[in-house]
């Protein structure tokens, strides 16, 4: 099975068999990893718009879903070829053979530089960073989390994004054209985990395409399918992050530390209480006052520690753990 091509059509299988309910331990979350197109920005359809203009100029409609077109588009996003080389290949395959068969068309070479410049300006014009998503990213960062970008892109788009400062809000930026791997290649996610020095359970990955979430989930990364900003805020709420306050990560960590401490103290008190109880309720006829007082002291301490532990255990359950899932539409 070709995962990239068939994942969408088999979404029901993957949702039920791979995703299911994801148990989230919020105190283990350190990293939020965002997709760019369709998450941080709305889809621009720059390629489609560019080739509409090219079709108008050259009187040739280039098939965007042709296997050869898709092949070179993948090479472009993997950084194997540049945007210039991509256009040259596409014109060589789809325009020049058509030109030779149609003498009425001007017999001249395509001005690739012109279309490169058009491509760059078209993308820059159509691309706007979502102010709401930008705010969420900045708040997550202030809350103490590491926020990264994981994007399939082209060199020409990356250059525009850099010039516009779109990458500045992220701690780390992982671009397909730079690292040589594309989503949904599992190697790309492994590369990111290594660079972040993180375990899968430490990460939450947000993407608008199901096929890109599959390998991440298989590795153990918590995944969220982005559909709208409103729904994403709801998903963060389900995750246990309703209010992204400054130092939220530290607050979560402190609550977990208090839970661990109370659990340890409870176990210690329980052990001491059982020991004192055993020593007091022996078959000896004489029970010293010292033993009785020791037993009562340990009993009181045990009960106090148990109440404190139950309280922190409830906090852990209600505030530090959650269950989320990909909805099956």
Give residue-wise pLDDT tens across range 239-286: 888 788 888 999 999 999 999 999 999 999 999 988 888 877 775 545
- Kindly state the average pLDDT of the residues 17-31: 87
| CA 32 – CA 139 distance, rounded (Å) | 12
The pLDDT tens digits for 69-122 are 999 999 999 999 999 999 999 999 999 998 888 877 777 899 999 999 999 999
Q: What is the pLDDT of residue 5?
A: 45
Better-scored residue on pLDDT, 18 or 254: 254
CATH class for the domain made up of 10-42+128-239: alpha beta
Better-scored residue on pLDDT, 103 or 30: 30
Segments making up each domain of the chain, as ranges: 10-42+128-239, 46-126, 248-325
Confidence grade of residue 11 (pLDDT, cut at 50, 70, 90): very low
The pLDDT tens digits for 293-312 are 888 898 999 999 999 999 99
Q: What is the mean pLDDT of the chain?
A: 90
Confidence grade of residue 290 (pLDDT, cut at 50, 70, 90): confident
35, pLDDT greater than 80: yes
């Amino acid at each position: 099975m070709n995962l990239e091509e068939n994942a969408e059509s088999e979404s029901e299988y993957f949702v039920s068999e791979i995703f299911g309910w994801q148990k989230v331990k919020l105190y283990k979350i350190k990293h939020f990893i965002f997709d760019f197109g369709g998450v941080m920005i709305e889809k621009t359809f720059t390629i489609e718009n560019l080739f509409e203009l090219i079709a108008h100029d050259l009187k040739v409609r280039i098939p965007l879903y042709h296997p050869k077109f898709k092949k070179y588009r993948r090479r472009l996003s993997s950084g194997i070829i540049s945007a210039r080389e991509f256009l040259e290949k596409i014109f060589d395959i789809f325009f020049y053979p058509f030109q030779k068969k149609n003498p009425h068309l001007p017999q001249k070479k395509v001005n690739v530089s012109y279309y490169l410049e058009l491509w760059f300006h078209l993308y820059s014009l159509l691309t706007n960073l979502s102010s709401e998503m930008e705010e969420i990213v900045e708040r997550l960062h202030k809350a103490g989390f590491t926020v990264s970008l994981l994007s399939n892109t082209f060199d020409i788009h990356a250059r525009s994004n850099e010039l516009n400062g779109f990458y500045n809000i992220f701690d780390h930026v992982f671009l397909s054209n730079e690292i040589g791997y594309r989503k949904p290649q599992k190697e790309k996610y492994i590369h990111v985990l290594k660079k972040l020095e993180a375990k899968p359970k430490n990460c939450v990955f947000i993407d608008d395409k199901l096929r890109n979430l599959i390998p991440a989930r298989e590795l153990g990364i918590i995944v969220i399918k982005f559909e709208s900003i409103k729904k994403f805020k709801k998903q963060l709420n389900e995750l246990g992050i309703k209010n992204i306050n400054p130092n939220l990560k530290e607050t979560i960590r402190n609550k977990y530390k208090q839970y661990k401490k109370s659990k340890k103290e409870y176990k210690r008190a329980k052990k001491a209480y059982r020991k004192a109880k055993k020593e007091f309720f022996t078959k000896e006829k004489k029970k010293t006052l010292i033993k009785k007082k020791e037993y009562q002291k340990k009993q009181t301490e045990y009960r106090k520690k148990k109440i404190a532990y139950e309280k922190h255990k409830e906090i852990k359950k209600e505030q530090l753990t959650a269950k989320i899932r990909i909805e099956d539409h």
